[in-house]
Amino acid sequence: MFERTKNLRLSIIKQIELKASQYPNSISLAQGIPGFDTPGGIKRRVELALKNKAVAKYSLSPGLSELRELIALELEKENIFVDWEKEIIVTAGTIEAISASIMALTSPGDEILIPEPTYTSYREVITLSGCKAIFVPLNERKGWAFELDKYERAITEKTKAIFYCNPNNPTGTIYSKKDLLGLAKLAQKHNLYLISDEVYKDFIFDEKEKIFSLAEIPELRKRLIRIYGFSKAYSMTGWRIGYLHSDSSIVYEILKVHDCLVTCAPVVSQYAAMGALEMGAEAVKEFNKKYGTLRDLACKRLDNLSHIFDYIKPQSTYYIFPKIKKNSLAKLDQQGRIDCWDFVNRVLEKIQVAMVPGSAFGPNGRGHVRINFGRSRKDLEKAFDRLDKLFQKQ
């Protein structure tokens, strides 16, 4: 019974959210929800589609052709060229794109390398597909960068793919072009697929123009599946809409799984995605400006807590991933490391501030917490005020 699901975990982030909701006065900096509402232009695009009675029917399985065309136009701006008829699938969020891709590319027993700490649900999707997630640690001392030799060592004859998130959740790292090219070289050498989740690609601070993607290299198109979702950049987590693109030969196979899973992405959300691409650019810029300010605020407040946390300033995303220093609240685990689960629980109990324990993102995340600074400024300030009070220097 339940052979397929017995090794799956329910999301730790959601467990924390649930626990936090039991406290009436809690402030959650846990779940990766943006602090803004979906921009008005996007909603009006949906209203128009509803008025035109365009949303009640299924779309084609890969998505509305007008949306796929818009996506291809958007990709051209990023120096990525695809056949919008055959090389794009509009999906029900990124997690569906990830699930469909892994199911199409792998056979049970295959191994998938994932740099960690990284997004918690990757492991579950890989397990659900009957594959094994092999964690390859990122180097915190080098700003959570890849170490290619560790990948080389982790590759076995069962390895099928390398799956990474760029910019990375929870560390906020943007992988360097050099590191990504190194990863691509490795994938070519060992005949592996690359799955690149770029849901945070639009979170650009520090006047960086754009984030490099391996999808810009046409020679890699038969090896790379690139995944994007509208959830984060356009504040559309509830709409569950995203897309993937790759070479037509791969997309053809993924489409079969996508069709089995959802038939098509919700059509109403596909119109919302069209609205995002047609009218959302200004809002994304505006959000980025605000997230940049919130990041700086979070860093400043963490500086005041330097006796409790060490951190690396995130380059992207709306997360910061500080390391917990030894302190009165932090219990040590059996290996003498800080038990971040215990720390998060105690903080929640004492001051009703919810954070995610770093171990949720992989073994290398132990001793850390993930803070979502993308919430409202008021909540962020309030949460840090409580932390200040809790960790007052004696």
Residues that bind another protein (CB under 8 A): 40-41, 44, 52-54, 65-66, 69, 72-73, 81-87, 218-219, 221-222, 248, 278-279
CA distance 218 to 8: 36
CA dihedral 76, 77, 78, 81 (to 10 degrees): 10
- DSSP, res 139: B
User: In terms of Cα–Cα distance, which of 199, 264, 266 is closest to 226?
Assistant: 199
Query: Beta partners for 310?
Result: 323
CA dihedral 56, 61, 65, 70 (to 10 degrees): 100
Looking at beta carbons only, is 14 or 222 nearer to another protein? 222
CA distances from 158 to 112, 182, 190, 191, 284 (A): 8, 21, 11, 11, 41
Residue 235: how many other CB atoms lie within 10 Å? 23
CB of 222 to another protein, least distance (A): 8
Looking at beta carbons only, is 73 or 260 nearer to another protein? 73
User: Which tokens sit at 305?
Assistant: 């807590």
CA distance 251 to 193: 13
User: Which tokens sit at 199?
Assistant: 């849901």
CB of 120 to another protein, least distance (A): 35
Residue 239 in contact with residue 272, Cβ under 8 Å?
A: yes
Looking at beta carbons only, is 214 or 354 nearer to another protein? 214
CA distance 26 to 348: 8
CA distance 323 to 320: 10
